[in-house]
A = this chain, B = another copy of it.
Amino acid sequence: MTKYVYDFAEGDASMRNLLGGKGANLAEMTGLGMPVPKGFTITTEACTQYYADGEQINDAIRAETMEHVATLEAAMGKKFGDDENPLLVSVRSGSRASMPGMMDTILNLGMNDVVVETIARKSGNPRFAWDSYRRFIQMYSDVVMEVGKAYFEKLIDEMKEARGVTQDVELTAEDLKELAGQFKAEYFSKIGEEFPSDPIDQLFGAIKAVFRSWDNPRAVYYRRLNEIPSDWGTAVNVQSMVFGNMGDTSGTGVAFSRNPATGESGLFGEFLMNAQGEDVVAGIRTPETIDQLRDENPAVYNQFVEIVGRLEDHYRDMQDMEFTIEEGKLFMLQTRNGKRTAAAAFKIACDLVDEGKITPKEAVLSIDPKQIDALLHPQFDTAELKAATPIGKGLPASPGAASGQVVFTAEHAAAEGKQGKKVVLVRLETTPEDIEGMHYAQGILTARGGMTSHAAVVARGMGTCCVAGLGEIKFGADEKSFTLGGKTYGEGDWISLDGSTGNVYGQAIKTVPAEISGYFGRVMEWADEFRTLKVRTNADTPRDAAQAIEFGAEGIGLCRTEHMFFETDRIAAIREMIVSETVEQRKAALAKLLPMQRGDFEGIYTAMKGFPVTIRLLDPPLHEFLPTEEDDIVALAAEMKISVDDLKSKIASLHEFNPMMGHRGCRLDVTYPEIGEMQTRAIIEAAINVQKAHPEWKVVPEIMIPLVGEVKELAFVKNIVTTTADQVIAEAGVELEYLVGTMIEIPRAALTADEIATEAQFFSFGTNDLTQMTFGFSRDDAGKFLDAYYDKKIYENDPFARIDENGVGKLVKMAAELGKQTRPDIKLGICGEHGGDPSSVEFCHQVGLNYVSCSPFRVPVARLAAARAALRSA
């Protein structure tokens, strides 16, 4: 039979999955002989069972809980509802992972009209007794029965007004007693039942409330953000009360064993005398710093310091603790590994290594790779941020913080940016033509598009903050203003974006520039030692490539040749190529592009200093390069010397119902081999030139053929590439090594990877498209229904952000295995967005890829994630 309830003395820290983090640590501290108020934990399995039973607490769980109540009563010499020695308990949730958004705490459970009198009498402090009682009614009503807090606050305000006072503490015991009566009446009027006076009814009400809170929308949202499975469930901790509000020798506080903001050594925290836990957080009175406790109560302080030292040594990590002092006696209510800023995380890890407490491997494992983003990008000033309220929330598309004046066009952004003004570019969606303006903007905000939209991908590449897909934005008719959160913002108005949370603020907020410390470098060096996966970058320009090298990239895994096509000097030639009616016309247009592309590649090889560079042949459908506005069409027709009607008919003929699955990728080379010929010539000629200029490097271009679904298709395009490349090399009379490989981004390519590998020297998994095709939804359209999927818990993660191991991952694994069967030394990499996602990087390590490739600013994230994967699988 399953055991659903554990006494604190029965558990330990290893039982976190069953007891939750809080319960496991209470048990561990109990085992260490520390002063922990007695209690028990109802397991996470009981929570899962509660949902399996249709949100009912079954008889087994109820009976076992009752046994533990009896044990607790016996141990404490107190009884629930007793008029001599009444037992009061706290009830707290506690899941495996710390999870804000869930029900936190109910204090003073066990109070009723009888007990309050007993406590008033025994404590000799009626005000304390009645204050505890009214707090309990208020908290229980709010948390358990979801009677809004506001009603109670209103009653308190009315009481204070009647009494002519302004502070809660000025209310007398009598006032509070009257309030308690009003609260119960309010409860009755809202719920239609009397407030429960039986402590057992109160207890099970509270337990259910904890279980229910596991599934409240905030918790569900948080889980999705943090990739916590919904079937973990939460435990419930029932603990006998100790009181920090019993008078001036009582108090309560929180403390960290090191500074969580900077990582500096030494106790860091605050406390309030004569207060319960919530008062410290509520900010009604200003708490004292932990140092003041040393002066006020050196005995308790010294005992606490000794306990903190033991806990940090025991857990070998910085601790975050809650404690209460009841009439001069110290009790520990919680310990856990403390949350910390990114900067603190790196300093603490290094310090713990230097103090001999942990090894470099443990240091690497102690840091969440996602935290690195915060080090590499500007962040908001914490105080200013606290004071600001978001006006909307979009997708956190590219991390960092940005504050600037609104502009609505890329041209405007560039113009203002060049004058040193800070601007935020607000667009329905961005297009490749917006690149320059995006470069000058502090941040980018779009109404449409997801995590892999143009705006998101380009912003991440640049390291610019971006919030995408904020659908609530309504643009004004003149496109010179937008409305959000009930207010209209025009050109020049200040707004701020948090690209790490998706929050948007209707005001300026000070930002703090990114600052990389020596601690970061030390940890990253350790990471590089441990990892086996190589880390490359997705970069299309020498500037991005150089940035990535600085962040530790070991090559380019994806250079998108088309991103170079939009610059003003070449878009004309591109369009000329597209509207060509004959092979000769097309070749003439391509000849104009050749020197430009060659120049692009020379720049990139030079920036990469001999690191490998994977260049993908033209990928998008051609209509993406054509104008859509009437004016632009007229202008283009004039430029091309064709009639507007002919141009329109050409544009119409290129229309596609489903462009994502249309005439693009290697399909362009199958129909127009001359495109592949020109690109290959540019790639190889550039390599030859850079190799000549830098004999100290070895330049080895890796030419990547996109969107392959069938080996014969790859063979056809590869033949164009090798024929051209070999000819160029022969013409130049040099030796040059080059590789030809393919993207694996079409399910059929993964399924037939054994055949594909006969022609491909490397595979690069294009998991963006592979995810779209495997799920059968387009990333540009899925936004309309994916929210419903998250709400209904059908999907818990965005499959475009974190690789779907069950489906897409199965194809990746299959393709890797089939590819190696055919060609044991085949080079395997990933160049989808997933290449910079820590859990996806771990998956890539597990399935045996050789490298991951991600945008420059995610390179350090990938390096650390790769090291953690290697350490964990070792």
A-side residues, CB < 8 A to B, are 656-663, 667, 670-671, 707, 709-710, 712-713, 716, 745-748, 751-752, 755, 769, 772-778, 780-782, 784-785, 788-789, 792-795, 804, 806-808, 810-811
* Closest Cβ–Cβ distance, residue A822 to chain B (whole Å): 15
If A671-B788, A747-B776, A774-B747 touch, whether A659 touches B658 (CB-CB below 8 Å) is yes
Query: A772 to chain B: which residues have CB within 8 Å?
Result: 661
Q: Is the beta-carbon distance between A661 and B778 smaller than 8 angstroms?
A: yes
Give A659 to B657 CA distance when docked, in angstroms: 7
* Closest Cβ–Cβ distance, residue A840 to chain B (whole Å): 17
If A748-B775, A810-B751 touch, whether A716 touches B663 (CB-CB below 8 Å) is no
* Closest Cβ–Cβ distance, residue A706 to chain B (whole Å): 11
Give A716 to B747 CA distance when docked, in angstroms: 26
Give A793 to B777 CA distance when docked, in angstroms: 30
* Closest Cβ–Cβ distance, residue A625 to chain B (whole Å): 16
Query: A667 to chain B: which residues have CB within 8 Å?
Result: 777, 785
Give A780 to B662 CA distance when docked, in angstroms: 9
Q: Is the beta-carbon distance between A660 and B659 smaller than 8 angstroms?
A: no
Query: A747 to chain B: which residues have CB within 8 Å?
Result: 747, 773-774, 776, 807, 811
* Closest Cβ–Cβ distance, residue A800 to chain B (whole Å): 13
* Closest Cβ–Cβ distance, residue A758 to chain B (whole Å): 14
Q: Is the beta-carbon distance between B769 and A748 smaller than 8 angstroms?
A: no
**The one of B659, B716, B755, B804 that contacts A794, using a Cβ cutoff of 8 Å:** B716
**The one of B663, B748, B755, B776 that contacts A661, using a Cβ cutoff of 8 Å:** B776
Give A773 to B663 CA distance when docked, in angstroms: 14
Query: A804 to chain B: which residues have CB within 8 Å?
Result: 748
Q: Is the beta-carbon distance between A748 and B808 smaller than 8 angstroms?
A: yes
Copies in the complex: 2
Q: Is the beta-carbon distance between B794 and A662 smaller than 8 angstroms?
A: no
Q: Is the beta-carbon distance between A781 and B748 smaller than 8 angstroms?
A: no
Q: Is the beta-carbon distance between B776 and A709 smaller than 8 angstroms?
A: yes
Query: A751 to chain B: which residues have CB within 8 Å?
Result: 774, 806-807, 810-811
**The one of B663, B776, B792 that contacts A785, using a Cβ cutoff of 8 Å:** B663
Q: Is the beta-carbon distance between B778 and A662 smaller than 8 angstroms?
A: yes
Give A3 to B2 CA distance when docked, in angstroms: 75
Query: A777 to chain B: which residues have CB within 8 Å?
Result: 661-662, 667, 709
Query: A661 to chain B: which residues have CB within 8 Å?
Result: 658, 660-661, 772, 776-778, 781
Q: Is the beta-carbon distance between A660 and B657 smaller than 8 angstroms?
A: yes
Q: Could you show 9 A-B contacts with beta carbons less than 8 Å apart?
A: A656-B780, A657-B781, A658-B658, A661-B661, A662-B778, A667-B777, A670-B789, A746-B776, A747-B774
If A661-B781, A670-B789 touch, whether A707 touches B776 (CB-CB below 8 Å) is yes
Query: A795 to chain B: which residues have CB within 8 Å?
Result: 710, 712
Q: Nearest residue in B to A784 (C-beta to C-beta)?
A: B663
**The one of B659, B745, B746, B775 that contacts A775, using a Cβ cutoff of 8 Å:** B746
Q: Nearest residue in B to A746 (C-beta to C-beta)?
A: B776
**The one of B657, B710, B789 that contacts A778, using a Cβ cutoff of 8 Å:** B657
Query: A746 to chain B: which residues have CB within 8 Å?
Result: 774-776
**The one of B657, B780, B807 that contacts A752, using a Cβ cutoff of 8 Å:** B807
Q: Is the beta-carbon distance between A780 and B657 smaller than 8 angstroms?
A: yes
Query: A662 to chain B: which residues have CB within 8 Å?
Result: 777-778, 781-782, 784
* Closest Cβ–Cβ distance, residue A718 to chain B (whole Å): 12
Give A794 to B663 CA distance when docked, in angstroms: 15
Q: Nearest residue in B to A804 (C-beta to C-beta)?
A: B748
Q: Nearest residue in B to A712 (C-beta to C-beta)?
A: B794
The 9 closest A-B pairs by CB, nearest first: A658-B778, A748-B807, A746-B776, A661-B778, A662-B781, A657-B780, A658-B658, A712-B794, A747-B747
* Closest Cβ–Cβ distance, residue A653 to chain B (whole Å): 9
Query: A660 to chain B: which residues have CB within 8 Å?
Result: 657-658, 661
Q: Nearest residue in B to A665 (C-beta to C-beta)?
A: B776
Give A777 to B789 CA distance when docked, in angstroms: 26
Query: A710 to chain B: which residues have CB within 8 Å?
Result: 794-795, 807
Q: Nearest residue in B to A655 (C-beta to C-beta)?
A: B781
Give A269 to B406 CA distance when docked, in angstroms: 87
Query: A707 to chain B: which residues have CB within 8 Å?
Result: 776
Residue picked from A671, A751, A780, most chain B C-beta under 10 Å: A751
Query: A712 to chain B: which residues have CB within 8 Å?
Result: 793-795
Give A780 to B663 CA distance when docked, in angstroms: 11
Given contact pairs A716-B794, A748-B776, a sample of 9 additional A-B residue pairs in the complex whose CB atoms are under 8 Å apart: A656-B778, A658-B661, A661-B661, A663-B785, A713-B794, A748-B808, A751-B810, A752-B806, A752-B810
Query: A716 to chain B: which residues have CB within 8 Å?
Result: 792, 794
Give A612 to B810 CA distance when docked, in angstroms: 35
Residue picked from A670, A755, A811, most chain B C-beta under 10 Å: A670
Q: Nearest residue in B to A667 (C-beta to C-beta)?
A: B785
Q: Nearest residue in B to A670 (C-beta to C-beta)?
A: B788
Q: Is the beta-carbon distance between B792 and A670 smaller than 8 angstroms?
A: yes
* Closest Cβ–Cβ distance, residue A648 to chain B (whole Å): 14
Give A748 to B799 CA distance when docked, in angstroms: 12
* Closest Cβ–Cβ distance, residue A291 to chain B (whole Å): 52
Q: Nearest residue in B to A709 (C-beta to C-beta)?
A: B775
* Closest Cβ–Cβ distance, residue A494 to chain B (whole Å): 29
Give A755 to B707 CA distance when docked, in angstroms: 29
Query: A658 to chain B: which residues have CB within 8 Å?
Result: 658-661, 778, 780-781
* Closest Cβ–Cβ distance, residue A27 to chain B (whole Å): 34
Give A658 to B709 CA distance when docked, in angstroms: 19
Query: A709 to chain B: which residues have CB within 8 Å?
Result: 774-777, 807
Give A778 to B788 CA distance when docked, in angstroms: 26
Give A806 to B712 CA distance when docked, in angstroms: 13
